[in-house]
Amino acid sequence: MVKINKIILPEYEVFDPNNNSIGFVNEIDILDLRLQIRENNLEGYYIKFNNIIIRIDNEGGLENYPDGFCDIAENYLNKLF
């Protein structure tokens, strides 16, 4: 028998090019944010994770992936496969 586990995703703070916080997002929201940045060719947005700044380039790419950042889905997929 299986049980439904409600997975609570961590949230990360996002900042605009003027260093203003625009809110908190989870790892799924970050995918949407990156897509919007790419579609609109925006620059200067970044995410803070454990006091590390992760810049998002105009193609929606992240400059780095610190350990523990946005890895829940990846960890589950690794267990599955």
| pLDDT at res. 42 | 98
- pLDDT at position 22 is 98
**CB atoms inside a 10 Å sphere around CB 64:** 10
Q: Does residue 26 belong to any structural domain of this protein?
A: yes
pLDDT digits over 10-67, tens only? Answer: 999 999 999 999 999 999 999 999 999 999 999 999 999 999 999 999 999 999 999 9
Q: Using DSSP, state whether 12 is helix, strand or coil.
A: strand
pLDDT computed for residue 23 by the predictor: 98
User: Which token pair is 45?
Assistant: 């947005």
58, part of any domain: yes
Rounded to two decimals, what is the model's pTM? 0.88
Q: Which two tokens stand for residue 23?
A: 């809110």
Q: Is residue 38 part of a domain?
A: yes
Question: What gap in Å lies between CA 63 and CA 61, rounded to an integer?
Answer: 6
Per the structure, the complete domain to which residue 17 belongs is given by: 12-80
3-state secondary structure of 80: helix
Q: Is residue 19 part of a domain?
A: yes
Specify the pLDDT at position 47: 98
Number of structural domains (the chain) is 1
Asked if the structure places residue 73 within a domain, the reply is: yes
* Within-domain flag for 3: no
